[in-house]
Amino acid sequence: MNVIEATRLGKHYGGTWALRECTLAIPAGHVAALVGPNGAGKTTLLNLAVGLAAPSAGTVTVLGGRPAGSRAALDGIAFVAQDTALYKNLSAADLLHLTRNLNRHFDISYARGRLGELGIPLRRKAGRLSGGQQAQLALTLALGRRPRLLLLDEPLANLDPVARHDFMATVMTAVAADGVSVLLSSHVLAELERVADYLILLSRGQVQVAGKATDLLASHRMLTGPAAEAGNYAGRPVVHLRRDPAHAHLLVRATADDPVPPGWQAHHVGLEELALAYLREPGAARPPLQPGCAA
């Protein structure tokens, strides 16, 4: 089952396309990282998937074919926006009560228990909580809906390292305990490398890569060799070239079985290194794992 499936999906604001001709399928059972620079279309894609925006073109379905924004879809989705979208003048207890009344399914006992474990006072107004506590409160309200798909839009952006770690630990507990699928948009690549097993990389409204992290990493290598010979690989699937006076460093599409050129060394790449290379070279040759989105 695909938790999100888009076919020629597009959204424009005025005369500007934020996303266009986007075809993408994200299978269930993954923590998927949605990575890209500001303006790449990440928030637009999330808003379309959750039903907060209507497509200008194409279609998007969730949870095995349910139209995005439909009642059947919303019953299985929870969303945490970057600004946590909390009513700052309401207490945590008030927000639990409000969320329970606005949703057909909400596990208030679970939510109260989580906040108690986190030491978040129920009677304290949300605006007086720390940034980390506000993020955990928003996440608790989302998880209390017992979703099958959790969408997170830059939830780590304003958190310190300890709060980021604690937030992601909560997400991973939900994944392990309840089988929740996660789509997480973030700029914190190091944190994503620790938790994500699926990668979607957007740049300028276009999908650069999309697939299982293990497959993507297995299909790329870093080659290091003489700088003078870097141009010899111009016709090969080079994603990114970095050169210093003596050496050239090429991220290429290759596997462990591909021969290493004489005088060169091959190294494994990490998820962060791979993502940065594609971000620096939007439009680089893409692995044929997923169809993409055109700006």
Q: Do 143 and 200 lie in a common domain?
A: yes
- Please check whether residues 164 and 241 belong to one and the same domain: no
The answer to whether residues 11 and 55 touch, using CB atoms and an 8 Å cutoff, is yes
Based on the domain organization, do 66 and 163 belong to the same domain?
Answer: yes
Residue 238 sits in the same domain as residue 152: no
Is residue 172 in a domain? yes
CA distances from 24 to 4, 137, 143, 209, 220 (A): 8, 31, 25, 11, 21
Asked if residue 160 belongs to a domain, the reply is yes
- DSSP string of 6-19? EEEEEEEETTEEEE
Query: Which CATH number fits the domain that encloses residue 150?
Result: 3.40.50.300
Does residue 145 share a domain with residue 83? yes
Report CA-CA distances (Å) from 246 to 222, 225, 228, 235. Answer: 16, 8, 8, 22
One domain, residues 195 and 226: no
pLDDT tens, position by position, 76-103: 999 998 776 789 999 999 999 999 999 8
Residues 142 and 222 placed together within one structural domain of the fold:
no
Same-domain pairing of 56 and 15:
yes
Residues 269 and 157 in one domain: no
Range of the domain at 184: 2-88+132-212
Does one domain contain both 72 and 198? yes
Please count the residues of the chain: 295
What local confidence, expressed as pLDDT, does residue 27 receive? 95
pTM: 0.86
**93 within domain boundaries:** no
Buried b vs exposed e over 140-161: b needs ≥16 C-beta within 10 Å?
Answer: bbbbbbbbbbbbbbbbbeebee
**How large is the C-alpha radius of gyration of the chain?**
21
Tell me which of 155, 181, 212 is where a domain ends: 212
Q: How far is CA 128 from the centre of its chain?
A: 29
226 lies in the same domain as 204: no
Q: Which residue has the tokens 């999309």?
A: 210
Task: Look at residue 30 and tell me if it is in a domain.
Answer: yes
The residue out of 153, 185, 212 marking a domain boundary is 212
Q: At what angle do helices 131-143 and 108-118 cross, to 10 degrees?
A: 160
How do residues 7-21 score in pLDDT, each as one tens digit? 989 999 988 888 888
pLDDT reported for residue 292: 55
Residue 85 is which amino acid?
A
Q: Are residues 78 and 185 in the same domain?
A: yes
pLDDT by 10s per residue, the chain, length 295? 999 999 989 999 988 888 888 888 999 999 999 998 887 889 999 999 999 999 999 999 999 999 999 999 999 999 998 776 789 999 999 999 999 999 888 999 999 999 999 999 999 999 999 989 999 999 999 999 999 999 999 888 778 888 888 889 999 999 999 999 999 998 878 778 888 999 998 877 677 788 999 999 999 999 999 888 877 765 568 888 888 888 988 898 888 788 888 888 988 988 888 888 888 866 554 544 454 555 4
Predicted confidence at residue 58, as pLDDT, reads 93
**Does the residue 111 lie in any domain?**
no
Using CA atoms, how far apart are residues 172 and 283, in angstroms rounded to an integer? 32
Q: Which residues is 27 bridged to in the sheet?
A: 2
Query: Pick from 180, 212, 244: which residue ends a domain?
Result: 212
Number of domains in the chain: 2
- Return all residues near 85 (Cβ < 8 A) that are at least 6 apart: 138
Q: What would the two tokens of residue 18 be?
A: 């934020």
201 in any annotated domain: yes
Contacts of 282 (CB under 8 A, 6+ apart): 203, 204, 206, 208
Please report whether residue 12 resides in a domain: yes
